[in-house]
Structure 1
Amino acid sequence: MVDNSTERRDDGSAPRQPVPLACATCGTPAQGDAPPATWVCSVEGGDVRYLCERCARENIRSIEGRLDTAWW
C-alpha cells in the first residue's frame, strides 16, 4: 500500500517515504502516484498487489481461476 502521508507518526518519528508503485511480478514502475487504468489490482493474504498490463495478460488464466463461480 502506498502511504503519501507527510505528517509525523504518533511516536514522533519522521514519516515514511512514499513507496513507488511497481508491478508485483516484474517490478515495472508505474508512472505517477496512481496505478494506470490498465493494471490489475489483487488482494492476496491481506496485501494489495498490482500487476502491469503485460503481466496481467500473461497470467490471465490463473487470475480467472481464482474467481468465485458466481463471477461466471
Structure 2
Amino acid sequence: MDEETEPPEQTAQTEQPATGSVVCARCGTTAGGDTVPVTWLSSVEDGRRLHFCESCARLHIRAIESRLDSLWW
C-alpha cells in the first residue's frame, strides 16, 4: 500500500484588508481612500505586503521585472 502524504501546513499569514490610508513603501506617498489604487504595485516581501505608488513603480520597473527585492532598488 502507498502511504498518502499530507500537504505541509502553511505558515503564511492570511492577508488582512487595508485599514486606514495606503502608503507607498518607497517614498511615503499616501493614497486617497482605504483601498489601493489600481495604478499602484503590490508586492509580498519577507511575508509582508508592500505597496508602491505609480511613480516609484515606473522608476524601478526593470528591478521589479527582474524580481529583485525593493531593498535592491
TM-score, normalised via structure 1 length: 0.66
Could you say which residue in structure 1 is the equivalent of 2:53?
A: 52
Larger Rg: 2
TM-score, normalised via structure 2 length: 0.65
Aligned length: 54
- Equivalent pair of 1:2/1:21 in contact (CA under 8 Å): no
- Equivalent pair of 1:39/1:52 in contact (CA under 8 Å): yes
Could you say which residue in structure 2 is the equivalent of 1:31?
A: 32
AA partner of residue 57 (structure 2) = A
Q: Percent identity?
A: 48
* 5+ long unaligned stretches in structure 2: 1-14, 69-73
- Summarize deviations over 1:20-60 as a string: whole Å, max 9, x none: 31000000001100010000000000000000000000000
Could you say which residue in structure 1 is the equivalent of 2:41?
A: 40
Return the alpha-carbon distance in structure 2 between the equivalents of residues 20 and 58 of structure 1. 23
Cα RMSD, aligned residues only: 2.1
Return the alpha-carbon distance in structure 2 between the equivalents of residues 31 and 64 of structure 1. 27
